[in-house]
Amino acid sequence: MSRPLKLDQVDVKYDREEILRQITLQFESPRIYGLLGRDGMGKTTILELLASFQKPSRGKVLYGEEPLFENASLMPLIYFVYWEDYHDDYQTGEKKIREAAAYRPYFDMDYAFHLADRMNLQLSRSVKKYSRGKAAALQLLLGLASRAPVTLIDEVFPNMDAPAREFFYAELLNEQNKHPRLFILSSHLISESEHLFDDVIILHHKEIILNTPYHHLVSQGVLLTGPAVEVEAFTQDYPTAGEKLSAGTMTVEVYGTITDDFIKKAEEKGLQVQSLSLQKIFTQLTREEDKYGEK
Amino acid sequence: MGRNRAIKNMFREQLKWASWLLLILLFLRAGHYLLYFLLPDAELMLSPFVEASHQPAKIYMLITGILTVFIFLELFVRHGQTRRLFVTGSAAVSFFISGLLAAVVYIMTGIGYFLLSLFDLQTVLTASFPFEGEAARITGFFVFALTIWFYYITGLLIAGAFYRFGGAIGAVFVVCGAALLFAENYLWASDTFLTGFQPLNLPAGIILILVTGTAFIMLIAAFFILKDIRIKTK
């Protein structure tokens, strides 16, 4: 149950276009990983590799020490939740649940029906008639109830409304508490989902630019607020970003190793110190110059 | 657990589709008989059921082969089953369905002939029974079953190529598939009268071997196309 999932020196190319370059990652279980990146950076491709939906052009995908692709005994242990268009699907919600249960060795049918009830899913209706939010809820329900040792979730929950997303986040943590396993989540809704992550991986321009525990990452920067003159003087030796000036008060993101001594000195100067959100760090790391040379 | 379930699921779906085909064929057949008796002056002649259902069964199997890729391939991989299982399972299920369809059609042809003979109406049919003689009937059964399976494998190959390579290369496979289907028709000397080609008049056994051999080659080609195909999620 706790074997690691690995990408070893993986390249992916479509025709001549390079999608991923020399990706090496190891996912440990039980943990929840946040896989972040801007649009088109290869997040879905990584999840597809881990789900055996595609084969790497070069390199290896291993579960434990065994190759994963087309491995009949390992593939059922990995569940991939991705946005499925139910537009032409006449199956009922209940049939979808029973179908998944038949294929998945650890599927919990009672839990699936319990979740469906909590999510107000009408299981007797054809999924074709489900709204996008309800379809996403059903897809996530299947992922949670699969109890697969590895569950991969790709950008499905943005289709749900805020209360449904909150319910999903709470249920995910609850599930991880009761049945610990490996979850890998890809999302653009960083600010509302960052509390889920044990580890954060950021993908940018075909490569991993960051792979670190969440708590370590958010200690890599702070938000300083205070009189502009004081803030500028205090931060002159640090990389900064996102300066905002209003009526002589400046707020700035400070990056680098933030020590207790740094925080103590800042507070002595009367500066307010706050933690940086993951979204701020992500934006800073993946910000690019536009065609006018501005970031 | 999942492997057996996947194959059973595919078999059940294909059996359902095949039942629909048989129902439609029987419905059309009933309509033909009705017209025959309602319009006695029209001098309508009916071909035996096995002959009348052969072409529809071929087209049905071609479409089933195509649909199988688009419906079941993703389903298999999504639920943790291998592409290898999909190809081998699909070939086995369709082989069985082809035999079943052929058996049902032959039984229905026999029942129809028996009922007509009760009322001395055998002359309704253009031929009393295709492939006269016991040995020829058995050959006929295999011809029916193997040719419709050949169409299924052609559909599987074409759809696999389309799924993997997209439009341009997929279109090449459509042309190649159409050429093979034409060649198959030509070997049996059926449906070629419009082209003016003369049939080769090869023995049925040789043609069966050629058709089955080609189907297996196409199945191997489909396997190589599908064995590491990317399942598209977007």
Are B5 and A104 in contact (CB < 8 Å)?
Answer: no
Domains of chain A: 5-216 (3.40.50.300), 221-275 (3.30.70)
Minimal Cβ distance to A75: which of B1, B82, B233? B82
Non-local CB neighbours of A124 within 8 Å, separated by 6+ positions? A92, A93, A94
Strand partners, A12: A20
Give ∠ CA A19-B231-A104 in degrees, rounded to 5: 120
In chain B, what are the domain boundaries?
2-226
Q: Are B151 and B218 in contact (CB under 8 A)?
A: no
Nearest residue to B219 (alpha-carbon basis) of B155, B169, B168, B162: B155
Residues of A in contact with B227 (CB under 8 A): 70
A143 secondary structure, DSSP code: H
Q: Can you state the angle between helices B134-165 and B49-68, rounded to 10 degrees?
A: 20
Q: How many CA atoms lie within 13 A of A40 on its CB side?
A: 2
Are B6 and A99 in contact (CB < 8 Å)?
Answer: no
Minimal Cβ distance to A70: which of B5, B79, B83? B83
Q: How many CA atoms lie within 13 A of B191 on its CB side?
A: 13
Are B80 and A102 in contact (CB < 8 Å)?
Answer: no
Determine what percent of chain B is predicted with pLDDT higher than 70: 84
Residue labelled with tokens 């479409």? B63
Quick: pLDDT tens for A45-68: 999 999 999 999 999 999 998 999
A-to-B residue pairs, Cβ atoms closer than 8 angstroms: 62
Are A76 and B80 in contact (CB < 8 Å)?
Answer: yes
Minimal Cβ distance to A103: which of B6, B82, B84? B6
Q: What is the pLDDT of residue B185?
A: 75
Distances (CA, A) of B81 to A16, A235, B1, B3, B219: 29, 56, 11, 7, 19
Quick: pLDDT tens for B210-221: 888 888 999 999
Are B81 and A99 in contact (CB < 8 Å)?
Answer: no
Residues of B in contact with A75 (CB under 8 A): 77, 80-82
Strand partners, A244: A251
Q: What is the pLDDT of residue A117?
A: 95
> From the CB of residue B45, how many other CB atoms can be counted at a distance below 10 Å?
12
Lowest-pLDDT choice from A278-282, A289-293, B96-100, B123-127: A289-293
Question: Amino acid identity of A277?
Answer: S
Q: What is the pLDDT of residue B129?
A: 52
Mean local confidence (pLDDT), B122-135: 60
The alpha carbon of residue B158 is apart from the nearest alpha carbon of chain A, in Å, by 20
Residues of A in contact with B84 (CB under 8 A): 70, 72
Q: What is the pLDDT of residue B51?
A: 83
Q: What is the pLDDT of residue A77?
A: 95
Q: Is the pLDDT of residue B191 over 50?
A: no
Determine what percent of chain B is predicted with pLDDT higher than 90: 46
Distances (CA, A) of A119 to A82, A115, A176: 18, 6, 19
Q: Is the pLDDT of residue B18 over 60?
A: yes
Quick: pLDDT tens for A227-252: 999 999 998 888 888 788 888 899 99
Q: What is the pLDDT of residue B132?
A: 57
Q: Are B84 and B225 in contact (CB under 8 A)?
A: no
Are B77 and A52 in contact (CB < 8 Å)?
Answer: yes
Are B80 and A154 in contact (CB < 8 Å)?
Answer: no
Quick: pLDDT tens for B50-60: 888 888 999 99
Q: What is the pLDDT of residue B196?
A: 47
Report the C-alpha dihedral over residues A108, A159, A23, A218, rounded to 10 degrees.
-100
Q: Is the pLDDT of residue A293 over 60?
A: no
B84 lies within 8 A of chain A by CB: yes
Q: Is the pLDDT of residue B193 over 50?
A: no
Q: Which long-range contacts (C-beta less than 8 Å, at least 24 apart) are formed by B35-42?
A: B36/B124
Are A70 and B82 in contact (CB < 8 Å)?
Answer: yes
The alpha carbon of residue B77 is apart from the nearest alpha carbon of chain A, in Å, by 7
Q: What is the pLDDT of residue B127?
A: 58
Pick B233 or A97 by higher pLDDT.
Answer: A97
The whole-model pTM stands at: 0.86
Are A103 and B230 in contact (CB < 8 Å)?
Answer: no
Minimal Cβ distance to A75: which of B1, B5, B80? B80
Q: Is the pLDDT of residue B124 over 70?
A: no
The alpha carbon of residue A177 is apart from the nearest alpha carbon of chain B, in Å, by 25
Residues of A in contact with B67 (CB under 8 A): none
Mean local confidence (pLDDT), B94-106: 95
Residues 6-45 of B with CB under 8 A from A: 6, 9
Q: What is the pLDDT of residue B148?
A: 93
Q: Is the pLDDT of residue B194 over 70?
A: no
Quick: pLDDT tens for B131-188: 555 666 777 888 889 999 999 999 999 999 999 998 889 889 888 888 888 777 777 6
Q: Is the pLDDT of residue B48 over 60?
A: yes
Q: What is the pLDDT of residue B118?
A: 81
Q: What is the pLDDT of residue B136?
A: 66
The alpha carbon of residue B114 is apart from the nearest alpha carbon of chain A, in Å, by 41
